[in-house]
Amino acid sequence: MRSVIAGTGGYLPGRSLTNDELAAEYGLDTSDAWISERTGIRRRHMAAPGETTADMAAAAAREALAQAGAGADEVDAIILATATPDSAFPSTAARVQEKLGIRSGFAFDISAACTGFVYALGVADSMIRAGQCRSALVIGAEAFTRILDWTDRATCVLFGDGAGAMLLRATEDEGQAEPRGLLSTHLHSDGRHGDILQVEGGVVRMAGREVFRHAVSKLASAVDEALAANGLAKSDVQWLVPHQANLRIIDAMGRKLGLPPERVVVTVDRHANTSAASIPLALAEATRDGRVGRGDLVLMEAIGGGLTWGAALARY
Ligand code: COA
């Protein structure tokens, strides 16, 4: 048994602020040039007052279900990655289950910060392979602007809100030469570095340079691991769909893989860092506009608080 990507979806709140608009609204001593030169970020979306993580997740999930031609009754499991759940419990996944009118199966959240979607994919794929469920909605959803310190200009300019979703379906593995679906996932964490990127006193605290230093080396090793596990070369990768934290990190990974820029899906300029939502949002955009299509080999990678990091390889 293996899991095939049956549909993807994304949701962004209606309100979008440029760097200048953000600076004006929060009285930040910063500039569009400082932010965009160091990070590639030009704007970000912000959830409306009262708009919850579950609301955004459900909207993204509806698009994934529609793209897959699946009804709510087909969903066995909802696995939702978030660092900004609406409450400790019920889980945001259970709230999404209710919003979608799903009456069976199970739902739970995963906490792995910006690596959350890769972790959720790993868990969902393992459960499908083990026969625990026949389909899974895998979601990354964040209202990150609710946990920012608006006096910390080095951090608050980096994040945004949104949600992305993917429906995985079980399919028989018939030993094809180029099987479709998730090929492998590779998950890592190292709790010794927990304090360089953490939520403390309800807000995000980050040692930016330290995080940057870990990001490039850890992502590179996760990517090498994913390719080696499948006997694939860098040149086999058709699309890099990375976590969208910083354009300099994304460009470094694209160069490492020898991919031309047009083969790297970038949303960080318009979405900023939406944490666990960034990979499925980018994938939803690239499938919607027809860039990523059936048979394409897609490499996903992410790093985040924990530290956590990982990679996933999938053939569409
Ligand atoms: N506007 C203007 N100046 C700012 C600023 C802002 N928004 N934020 C910080 N600065 C200033 C600092 O105060 C500092 O000034 P000083 O030299 O007078 O003390 C200067 O800019 C340099 O700060 P520093 O934090 O060293 O900048 P940097 O070059 O490391 O860039 C990041 C900061 C955050 C862009 C960069 O470290 C980074 O991208 N890190 C990775 C972050 C990441 O990807 N996190 C998510 C992982 S999931």
Residues known to be catalytic: 114, 243, 273
Distance from C-alpha of 21 to C-alpha of 302, rounded to nearest angstrom: 28
Ligand 1 centre from 86 Cα, in Å?
29
Atom of ligand 1 at shortest range from CA of 243: 48
Ligand 1 centre from 200 Cα, in Å?
19
pTM > 0.85: yes or no: yes
Residue spans of the chain under pLDDT 70: none
- Confirm or reject: Cβ of 196 under 6 Å from ligand 1: no
Domains along the chain?
2-171 (3.40.47.10), 181-315 (3.40.47.10)
pLDDT of res. 178: 82
- Confirm or reject: Cβ of 129 under 6 Å from ligand 1: no
- Confirm or reject: Cβ of 303 under 6 Å from ligand 1: yes
pLDDT of res. 179: 85
Atom of ligand 1 at shortest range from CA of 157: 7
pLDDT tens sequence across 202-227: 999 999 999 999 999 999 999 999 99
Distance from C-alpha of 255 to C-alpha of 93, rounded to nearest angstrom: 36
Distance from C-alpha of 133 to C-alpha of 152, rounded to nearest angstrom: 43
Ligand 1 atom 20, closest CA: 154
How many other C-beta atoms lie within 10 A of the C-beta of residue 44?
29
- Confirm or reject: Cβ of 216 under 6 Å from ligand 1: no
Ligand 1 atom 34, closest CA: 208
pLDDT of res. 280: 98
Distance from C-alpha of 222 to C-alpha of 260, rounded to nearest angstrom: 20
Site to substitute for ligand 1 among 20, 38, 148, most atoms within 8 A of C-beta: 38
Please state the φ and ψ torsions of residue 57, each to the nearest 5 degrees. -60, -45
Of 281, 303, 15, 266, the C-alpha closest to 163 is 281
pLDDT tens sequence across 81-138: 999 999 999 999 999 999 999 999 999 999 999 999 999 999 999 999 999 999 999 9
Distance from C-alpha of 217 to C-alpha of 212, rounded to nearest angstrom: 9
What is the token pair recorded at 165? Answer: 């979703």
Ligand 1 atom 12, closest CA: 154
What is the token pair recorded at 78? Answer: 């909802």
Residues whose CB is less than 8 angstroms from the CB of residue 7 and which lie 6 or more positions away in sequence, other chains included: 63, 64, 65, 66, 67, 68, 69, 70, 166, 167
